[in-house]
Amino acid sequence: MNIGRRGFLKLTGTTGLGLALSELGFDIQKVEAAAQEFKLKDAQEYTSVCHYCACGCGVLAYVKEGKLIHLEGEPENIINEGALCSKGVSQAVIPNSDQRIKTPLYRAPGSNKWQEISWEEAYDRIAKKTKETREKYWIATEKNGDTETKVNRCDAIGFVGGAQIFNEECYLLTKYARLIGTDFIEHQARV
Minimum distance of ligand SF4 from residue 87's CB (angstroms): 4
Nearer to ligand SF4 (CB atom), residue 12 or residue 48: 48
Minimum distance of ligand SF4 from residue 161's CB (angstroms): 14
Nearer to ligand SF4 (CB atom), residue 51 or residue 64: 51
* CA 165 to the chain's CA centroid: 11
Spatial distance between the Cα atoms of 149 and 151, rounded to a whole number of angstroms:
6
Closest CA to 164 of 173, 156, 155: 173
Minimum distance of ligand SF4 from residue 74's CB (angstroms): 11
Nearer to ligand SF4 (CB atom), residue 50 or residue 61: 50
Nearer to ligand SF4 (CB atom), residue 87 or residue 129: 87
Question: Taking every pair of C-alpha atoms in the chain, what is the biggest distance, in angstroms?
Answer: 98
Closest CA to 155 of 185, 126, 129, 127: 185
Nearer to ligand SF4 (CB atom), residue 88 or residue 181: 88
Minimum distance of ligand SF4 from residue 191's CB (angstroms): 14
Residues at the site binding ligand SF4, with contacts judged by CB under 6 A: 50, 52-53, 55-57, 80, 84-85, 87-88
Minimum distance of ligand SF4 from residue 164's CB (angstroms): 10
